[in-house]
Amino acid sequence: MNIFAQIGKSIYSPKVIADTRFQGIGKTILFLFTLTLISILPVVYYMFVGISEAVGTAKQSIQTDLPSFTIEDGVLHSDIKAPLTIKNGSFTLIFDPTGAIDQEDMTGMDANFAMLQNEIVLAAGGETNAVPYSLFTNESMTKDDIISLIDTAESSLPVLLGLLFIVVYVFSSGMKFIEVSLLALFGLLLKRLAGRNLQYRHLWRMAAYSTTLPTIFFTIMAFLRTEVPFSFSVNWFVASMMLLLAIKELPGKTPAES
């Protein structure tokens, strides 16, 4: 049975999950990597689309909507006397050379990108990250120079997004392996309650496949951009129940298979 067939059957069949206790560890690990890849697809897709749109929109907004400005000695200078807020769809740009707004003021604000007096600030989900102008260069920069920097970033975007995908995939894979290891530990209790004789290595394989149903469910919800209440508890409850049902598929009082 190939990996995708196993994913499909592990969604609904505790017996298929129970049979995986004899499976080679290499195939189980490959299964987890594949399941993790599927689970991050919505996150990666929306992240890539959001970043690509933000870069293009930021370039357009700076080019057409902002007044002329210069950055000298790490400080933004322009002729305007008050902060300027520009909205373009879901993208918001704040331009403030006056010093009226600082990074702390942006916490919780509906802003994606801000050029403040001394720094560039990215804001999302109530979190802010600031980068001082002095980090780019100590020389004077104009509006055209900033646009050129964005052009450079835009041309390098495929490489940057590829690196970001690798980081997300490696981190998510690590979290999935931790989840399965903890679930297998919990399986030691479940197998006692069910009166079955299993070793940890068997439970680890079964735990890997028991996470299939909640993983696919939350992947679909992520694609639909639908928030699931108590998602952490739902995930662990469903995975634990699938593991328990798989354990009960085994005959009772049987010596553990090697």
3-state secondary structure of 69: strand
Within 10 A of 174 (CB to CB), how many other CB atoms are there? Answer: 11
Sheet hosting strand 141-142, strand order edge to edge: 75-78, 69-72, 141-142
- CB contact set of 14 (below 8 Å; sequence gap of 6+): 242, 245, 246, 248, 249
18 burial class (0-12, 13-18, 19+ CB within 10 angstroms)?
Answer: buried
CB 69 within 8 A of CB 77: yes
Tell me which residue of 125, 141, 41, 130 sits closest to 94, measured CA to CA: 130
Instruction: Kindly give, in sequence order, each residue whose CB lies less than 8 Å from that of residue 231, ignoring residues fewer than 6 positions away.
Output: 218
Q: 242: how many CB neighbours lie within 10 A of its CB?
A: 25
* Per-residue pLDDT of the chain in tens (258 residues, 90 and over written 9): 788 999 999 999 999 999 999 999 999 999 999 999 999 999 889 888 877 877 788 788 888 888 889 998 889 999 898 889 888 777 788 899 998 888 777 766 656 788 888 888 876 655 677 888 888 777 788 888 888 888 887 888 889 889 989 999 999 999 999 999 999 999 999 999 888 889 999 999 999 999 999 999 999 999 998 999 999 999 999 999 999 999 999 987 544 443
Of 18, 39, 45, nearest to 247 by C-alpha is 18
At 137-193, the pLDDT tens digits run 777 888 888 888 888 878 888 898 899 899 999 999 999 999 999 999 999 999 998
Three-state SS across 70-91?
EEECCEEEECCCCCEEEEECCE
Taking the C-alpha atoms of residue 164 and residue 169, their distance in angstroms, rounded to an integer, is 9
* 205 CB-near residues (< 8 Å, 6+ apart): 20, 21, 23, 25, 28
Neighbours of 27 (CB within 10 A): 15
What's the sign of the alpha-carbon dihedral 238, 19, 185, 26?
A: negative
Task: Count Cβ atoms within 10 A of the Cβ of residue 198 and give its class: 0-12 exposed, 13-18 middle, 19 or more buried.
Answer: buried
Report yes or no: 91 and 110 within 8 Å, Cβ to Cβ: no
Q: What is the pTM of this model?
A: 0.76
